Amino acid sequence: QVQLVQSGGGLVQTGGSRRLSCVASGRTFSGNAMAWFRQAPGKAREFVSAINWNGGTTLYAVPVQGRFTVSREHDKSTLFLQMNSLKPEDTAVYYCAARWGENTAGAVIYDSEYTYWGQGTQVTVSS
């Protein structure tokens, strides 16, 4: 069993910064890709960012490209999302996710490819 526990959400002003964390416990998954997704009120869940097993490859959705940075620390089983230059349209519940199983080391953008999910954390950007 793998558990993902998120932290770092909250209220931030437009143009501000926030860092989200996602800590994994249970089975080791350092060899698996991980990702961030978000869901705004009245909208479908959308891809934000993904990172492969060793952090050497990262993917970003166009709306956050150049503003967000994804990283991971394998020794602490922790995933991060550094969010800079935040905009009101970034307001959403953010979820971390992890792939699991064979051939799951690569970063992908589809939520159906991720097995384990964090509880979600609210990020609100004031306008």
Spatial separation of the C-alpha atoms in residues 22 and 25, rounded to whole Å: 10
Q: Which residues contact 42 (CB under 8 A, 6 or more apart)?
A: none
**Are the beta carbons of 63 and 36 closer than 8 angstroms?**
no
**β-strand pairing of 92-98 with 116-117:** antiparallel
Sign of the four-CA dihedral 70, 8, 95, 114: positive
pLDDT digits (tens, 9 = 90+) for 41-78: 999 999 999 999 999 999 999 999 999 999 999 776 89
d(CA 17, CA 103): 34
Residue for token pair 């998120």: 6
Residues 3-52: tens digit of each pLDDT: 999 999 999 999 999 999 999 887 766 689 999 999 999 999 999 999 99
pLDDT band at 1 (very low <50, low <70, confident <90, very high): confident
